[in-house]
Structure 1
Amino acid sequence: MRQLALVLAAICLGFAAKAQGDKPGDFDFYVMSLGWSSNWCALEGDNRRDPQCDAGRGLTWTLHGLWPQYERGYPANCRTVENDPNRGDSAQMADIMGGAGLAFYEWKKHGRCSGLSAKTYYSTMRKAYNSVVIPPIFAKITKDLHVPASVIEDAFSESNPHIARDQMTITCNQGMIQELRICLTKDLKPRRCGADTIKDCKLKDAGLEAVR
């Protein structure tokens, strides 16, 4: 019985520490997530009839988010005294995020934990996105492909020699390339990813749908 009580106490302390940690500005580094737009559309966006998926948009790697991260785990939905962004501020993020709705969602879930104002968080997301060179070859993908997931990382590594292989990772979903994630310090310098973000997708034939 005493052992059980100690275990329960440890669990409760863990939850308490997590709750205390979920406060604005209390995190270790950022994870910037870039998603392959056409694959997101195939998996989710088409069912939503999302304008991001309209033919002729020409979107390749769009910004999914810039997430405050702990070495293990992450804060989310923090309480903040900062005001939410207005519609105009969110709409201005659509060129790199595909739509204003995603920008506002990312602010609510992750941006409030950054310790920044909404305007500064949006500008920080844009600065992070612009710090990475999107390999030009991706804009030329005019037919659906199946490629090793490692090829995606190879392409980004070649175009961004300042980012080491352990500072980025590729994720897959339902057999398709999902995201490229890059780990950044609070001042947006590449850094080694944490233990729970560093694992790469190992698929040899991951789907990559053509640019729309």
Structure 2
Amino acid sequence: MAAFQPAPTMAQAWQCQPPGFLPRPALELPPSAAITRTAIDGYVLALSWSPEYCRGRMRDPAARFQCSGEIGDFGFVLHGLWPETKGANYPQYCRAVGVLPKRTVSDNICLSPSPQLLQHQWAKHGSCMATKPDAYFAAARLLFNAIEFPDMARLSREPERGTPLTAQVLAERIADLNDGLPAYAITVKTNNKGWLQDVRICLGKDFKPRRCSALTRRAPATAQIKIWRGR
């Protein structure tokens, strides 16, 4: 990732301020059948488009911090940093982990605005990558903050003005803003109605961008996409 130029810290979390009180997440204990300890061959940095996730969830207590506006307004947020393998049997829940410390939750709530999502990512993915949660989230934060995003509100209006917006075009717009990040290392995921959900960055074991594998979930390159601007 050395080729990336650092973007402004928390550029996608406008005026985010961690609250004085944050609930502790619940301990996540996976069933034994979910435990997979395969060799790591690369990573995926998964970024969720928060306005789409929050559509209809503004008053949902489970989505309080991300969607109510209480601690800030969000664009892209970190869904997770996921280790990959050469096949479909990716590593997960590699070892048992405890509940995240309060300080770790507070330090990362503006990155992933849900205590339980942070706990889930640490238990499922971070447990295969690091011995301590702070190391895992520091790597995810560094990667996330290195990415510059296009003006999503402006992009969302292009189809309204007669310019089709496809998954490939969005990947290219992101790549154009980030030296060293080619469009072939970016995939776009939409819901079944064509609305943007996630952007995913494919990385090698050295954390440098690489071509996404055929197993990475994505919208077809020519699929026309829509971007929800939020309330």
Q: If the TM-score is normalised by the length of the shorter chain, which range does it land in?
A: 0.7 to 0.9
Q: Number of aligned residue pairs: give it.
A: 189
One-letter amino acid matched to 1:93: N
- The aligned counterpart of 1:155 is 173
1:108, 1:172 → 2: CA distance?
26
| Percent identity of equivalent pairs | 27
Moved over 6 A (4+): 141-146
Deviates more, 1:198-207 or 1:104-113: 198-207
Give yes or no for the alignment of 1:170 onto 2:188: yes
Among 186, 201, 205, the residue aligned to 1:182: 201
TM-score norm. by structure 1 comes to: 0.76
Among 140, 163, 185, the residue aligned to 1:125: 140
- The aligned counterpart of 1:22 is 36
One-letter amino acid matched to 1:65: G
Distance apart, 1:55 and its partner CA: 4.0
1:145, 1:41 → 2: CA distance?
22
2:73, 2:154 → 1: CA distance?
10
Among 69, 74, 84, the residue aligned to 1:59: 74
The higher radius of gyration belongs to: 1
- The aligned counterpart of 1:207 is 226
One-letter amino acid matched to 2:87: R
C-alpha root-mean-square deviation of aligned residues, in Å? 2.9
One-letter amino acid matched to 2:95: R
TM-score norm. by structure 2 comes to: 0.70
CA contact (8 A) 1:143 1:210 kept: no
Distance apart, 1:58 and its partner CA: 2.8
SS of 2:199's partner is strand
Distance change >3 Å, CA 77–CA 164, structure 1 → 2: same
Q: Summarize deviations over 1:124-177 as a string: whole Å, max 9, x none.
A: 111111221122x12667979774333321220111131112211111112211
One-letter amino acid matched to 1:153: A
Give yes or no for the alignment of 1:89 onto 2:104: yes
SS of 1:95's partner is coil
2:121, 2:198 → 1: CA distance?
16
Distance change >3 Å, CA 208–CA 69, structure 1 → 2: same
Structure with the higher helix share, 1 or 2:
1
Gaps spanning 5+ residues in structure 1: where?
A: 1-18
Give yes or no for the alignment of 1:39 onto 2:52: yes
Distance apart, 1:186 and its partner CA: 3.1
SS of 1:33's partner is strand
Distance change >3 Å, CA 95–CA 127, structure 1 → 2: same
Deviates more, 1:120-129 or 1:91-100: 91-100
